[in-house]
Every structure is written in C-alpha cells, then in structure tokens.
C-alpha cells in the first residue's frame, strides 16, 4: 500500500551517508542521495572529529533528499557511539575528540581509582574499552572543558540539536556512556561518585520518539516544509544495524564495518564475572532488547593498512587485493586482532609485522599476504567470540549473520563459515541505514510490528547470500 519516505543520516566511523528509505506494509527500498568521507583531523592538542564537515555533508544530502522527495515524512540520525560534544548554551566548546585519541589513559586510571572495574560492570554491564564515555569525561575533568559546560550531547544528539534546537539523549547510544543504570535511567549515584555534574545529562528518549520539527532556519536552508520532524532511532549505529539483521531464532550477528560487533540479541543483560572477564558488553537495543556483544578490532586493520600504503605511494584496489588474497595457498599467520597496539592511527602493516617478530613468527612478506593474514585473523576472532557469546549467555547459535560493509568481503564470509562450522548469511550492506529508516517509518505509522516483523521485511527486500562451511 501507499507507504511513505523518510531520510536517514548515517555517520559511520569512516564515511557518512544520507539515504532515502521508502517503506510500506510490504515494501522497503533504500537509495543513497549523498556520501561523504569522515576523515579525522589531528591538531596540536590531539585527534578530533571534523564534526562541522559532517554536518555540512548531512545538510547537503538533506537538500537533495527534499528535492527528490518533497513529501519526506521524517529525518533521523545515527553514528558511532561514545563520543560527544560539550556545550555552554548553544555554543559547542571545542571540537569533539576522537575515541582513538590517546588522552583517555589518564581517565581510565582516575575512574578506576573511584570505582573498581568489577563494580562498574555490575552497574553498567559495559565491556571495558579505554574510550568509553565515562573515561573520556574523567580525562576532560583533568584537563578539558568539562568545568565550563552545561550540557553534553553524544554525536547523533548533537546533529539532532543543530537540526531542531532540542537537547535529548537517545537511550541506545546513552547506554555506551557507562552512566545508565540497569533500568535505563541516568545512574545518578554513579554520576555523583565520579564527580560529574548531573545537569550535564539531557532528558533520555527512546528510539521512535518525535524529537521536534526542524528549526525554521534549517528547513529553509534545505528547502523543506517547516513541519518536517526529526525522529529518534537507535542512534548508536550498531543498535540500528541490529534492527536490520534479517535474523530469526538461534542466530548470532556480526556488524562488520570499521569495527566488528560480534554477538547475540538477548531479553536481559548478562552481568556475571565470567562475562566481564571475557569483556562482553550489554548495550541498549531498540525496543528494550539487549545487544550482548564484544567489539572486535574490525576492518580498521585493513583500511588503515590501505591508508599506510597509499601514504607511501601505492594505491591498492580493495576488491582486487581480496581476490588475490583468497587465491593464496599455504599456511597463514594468525595474530590477535584485539591487541591494543592496533587501536591508534598509524603504520598498520608495520605493527602487524612487529606483533609477529615479538613472537618469533615470520611476518607476511607482501601486501597480499598481509591482507590474507588480517582476514584470517578476523575470522578466527569472530569464531572465538561467537563461541564465548553462546557459552556466556546460554544462547544456542546455529547461524551467523554478517551485515555492513564487511558482508561484501567474500573471503571473510567464507572463512567465518569455515572457522565457526556454521552457515553465514551475508547482507544487507547498509543495515545501519535500513534500521534507522525502519524505526522512523514505524514511528510514522508507515509499518507496524515488532523487530521480528521488521526483520522479515528486510529478509524479503534484501535476501542474504549464504556461505556453507567448507571442510
């Protein structure tokens, strides 16, 4: 039936896009209207997101979207998690710091001095990552703008604020701050113990809430009618991606992009000591579901290697490199992709070779061999993490869905099937934007039902490609 159209602004860690999504009872079609690079900038005081450039790209995309679809029903924003802007009134204090910036080490020590890691896990159920928002706040308290700020907005909430003038904290992304209590409200006691002003934290909203109409000035700038709404969705990109995993029961998922998020969907968190020791996270999902997963270093290893080679003067085409890597025969070195040495930007091939030398292993001797090593090592990490997810949560896993840019990587999909011994179902590539679109569309009444109904729609519109495990 009729249906309607919404626009998704999806800011990935390596690129942003604006997509139009047409949704009806039995219809789901997305088309990109704008893509732009997301290149961080290092200045004398550290590594920053170029958030103004991202906002400019988003506005430009919205202008095209409105021109193509004058009856646009709504707009929503998602992005990577944990990072934020500090504001005083309407003014942003400095440029948001990138989670790969090294400043957080001091914040981790200062935070754990106040609250032990074990106690933190019981409070927030989050995987330890040195860049979780609460550690960044501690670093800001030591030397940043926190003392001058009256509001903090996570990145998608910042874009929403610029579009609407409304200050909110969308709940799935807020769960990655480490400052939400089990009930999903701001953890006032923890916030006080960490010495943070409670007034920094705006009103929480669930995905699917109408946040407000566009500011008149913004509506004029993009050529939209003034009643066009901004809706909240699973604004943590992984939360939106999980909405669009075309999975049924007994399925695990891997959201494979710059990061790989590897896990299962649960009704309730797992807060056991074993789960903490295995560094699994319980993040807030859409419709109150729990995203029980672990961050695995991801295709960053590959993209940062390509960037390193490019800086040295050789531009490789990724699909060609992957095709050559899949034809290699013979033993392949497997390294620990989660070693923290791989986190910061810089010469990735050299760090991988050094990891090998540290263990008296012969390092890969060519770009193709290095690519093979990265993909094998990622697949090994996927298999190990999925086994742990099943053991720790009691979930019975019989198939693995891979979504995001990495679902186009045939070698990665096949090796994951081989190493898990399970069928892999690959796609959709743009799961995050699809999840964003579906949650907006449901809020607008263009489609109804629970996540299972939305996933059935995704499975029909984007049938996944199946990889069987090889002996």
Which C-beta is closer to ligand ADP: that of 364 or that of 405?
Answer: 405
Examine the residue annotation and report whether 140 is marked as an active-site residue of this protein: no
**What's the closest the beta carbon of residue 319 comes to ligand ADP, in angstroms?**
5
Choosing from 83, 101, 206, 237, the catalytic residue is 237
* CA–CA distance, 356 with 172 (Å, rounded to integer): 38
Residue carrying the six token digits 């290092």:
42
Measured CA to CA in angstroms, residue 119 lies from 309, 423, 468 at distances of 43, 38, 42
β-strands 399-403, 424-426: how paired? parallel
Task: State in angstroms the smallest separation of the CB of 434 from ligand ADP.
Answer: 12
CB nearer ligand ADP, residue 204 or residue 301: 301
The least distance separating ligand ADP from the CB of residue 217, rounded to whole angstroms, comes to: 30
Measured from the CB atom, is 9 or 13 closer to ligand ADP? Answer: 13
Task: Say which DSSP state 277 is in.
Answer: H
Question: How far apart are the C-alpha atoms of 168 and 42, rounded to whole Å?
Answer: 29
Q: Determine the Cα–Cα distance for residues 57 and 238; give it in Å rounded to an integer.
A: 21
Give whichever of 167 and 372 is closer to ligand ADP, judged by the CB atom: 372
**Minimum CB–partner distance for residue 436 and ligand ADP (Å):** 12
CB of 87 to ligand ADP, least distance (A): 26
Nearer to ligand ADP, 108 or 233 (CB): 233
DSSP string, 411-450: HHHHHHHHHHTS-EEE--TTHHHHHHHHHHHHHTTSS-S-
Q: Which is nearer to ligand ADP, 310 or 362 (CB)?
A: 310
Binding interface with ligand ADP (CB under 6 A): 12-15, 257-258, 299, 302-303, 318-319, 322, 404-406, 408-409
Distance of CA 208 to the CA centre of its chain: 19
Give min distance, CB of 204 to ligand ADP, in A. 25
- Give how far the C-alpha of residue 406 lies from the chain's centroid of Cα atoms, to the nearest Å: 13
Two structure tokens written together for 20: 């139009």
Alpha helices in 88-200 (DSSP H): 104-114, 117-124, 133-143, 155-164, 171-174, 188-193
Measured CA to CA in angstroms, residue 299 lies from 46, 206, 256, 459, 466 at distances of: 23, 30, 7, 25, 21
- Nearer residue to ligand ADP within complex by CB, 17 or 276: 17
Strands (E), 174-306: 203-205, 210-213, 229-231, 251-256, 260-266, 281-284, 290-296
Least separation in angstroms between residue 410's CB and ligand ADP is 8
The DSSP bridge partners found for residue 169 are 204
- 3-class DSSP state of 359: coil
Instruction: Please tell me the distance from the alpha carbon of residue 89 to that of residue 82, in angstroms, as a whole number.
Output: 22
Helix H or strand E encompassing 311: helix 300-311
Which residue sits closest to ligand ADP, CB atoms considered?
Answer: 405
As annotated, the active-site residues are 237
């Amino acid at each position: 039936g009729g249906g309607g159209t919404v626009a998704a602004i999806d800011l990935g860690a390596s690129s942003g896009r604006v997509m139009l999504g047409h949704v009806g009872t039995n219809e789901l079609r997305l088309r990109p209207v704008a893509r732009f690079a997301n290149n961080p900038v290092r200045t004398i005081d550290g590594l920053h997101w170029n958030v103004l450039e991202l906002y400019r790209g988003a506005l430009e995309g919205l202008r095209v979207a409105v021109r193509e679809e004058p009856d646009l029903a709504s707009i929503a924003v998602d992005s990577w998690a944990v990072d934020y802007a500090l504001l005083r009134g309407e003014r942003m204090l400095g440029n948001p710091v990138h989670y790969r910036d090294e400043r957080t080490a001091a914040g981790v020590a200062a935070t754990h001095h106040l609250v032990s890691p074990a106690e933190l896990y019981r409070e927030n159920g989050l995987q330890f990552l040195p860049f979780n928002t609460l550690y960044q706040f501690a670093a800001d308290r030591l030397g940043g703008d926190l003392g001058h700020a009256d509001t903090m907005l996570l990145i998608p909430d910042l874009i929403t604020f610029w579009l609407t003038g409304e200050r909110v904290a969308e709940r799935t992304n807020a769960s990655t701050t480490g400052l939400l209590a089990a009930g999903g409200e701001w953890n006032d006691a923890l916030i006080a113990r960490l010495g943070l002003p409670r007034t920094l934290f705006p009103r929480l909203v669930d995905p699917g809430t109408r946040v407000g109409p566009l500011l008149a000035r913004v509506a004029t700038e993009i050529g939209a009618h003034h009643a066009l709404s901004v809706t909240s969705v699973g604004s943590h990109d992984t939360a939106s991606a999980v909405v669009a995993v075309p999975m049924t029961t007994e399925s695990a998922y891997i959201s494979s992009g710059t990061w790989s998020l590897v896990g299962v969907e649960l009704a309730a968190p797992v807060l056991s000591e074993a789960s903490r020791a295995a560094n699994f996270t319980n993040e807030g999902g859409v419709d109150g579901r729990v995203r029980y997963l672990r961050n695995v270093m991801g295709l960053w290893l590959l993209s940062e290697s390509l960037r390193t080679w490019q800086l040295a003067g050789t531009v490789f085409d990724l699909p060609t490199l992957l095709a050559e890597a899949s034809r290699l025969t013979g033993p392949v070195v497997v390294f620990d992709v989660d070693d923290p040495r791989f986190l910061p930007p810089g010469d990735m091939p050299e760090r991988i070779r050094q990891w090998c030398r540290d263990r008296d292993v012969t390092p890969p001797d060519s770009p193709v061999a290095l690519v093979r090593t990265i993909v094998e090592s990622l697949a090994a990490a996927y298999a190990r993490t999925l086994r742990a997810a099943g053991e720790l949560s009691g979930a019975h896993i019989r198939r693995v869905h891979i979504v995001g840019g990495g679902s186009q990587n045939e070698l990665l999909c096949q090796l994951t099937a081989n190493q898990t011994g399970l069928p892999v179902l690959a796609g959709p590539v743009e799961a995050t934007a699809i999840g964003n679109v579906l949650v907006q569309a449901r809020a607008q009444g263009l489609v109804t039902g629970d996540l299972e109904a939305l996933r059935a729609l995704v499975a029909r519109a984007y049938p996944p490609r199946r990889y069987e495990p090889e002996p």
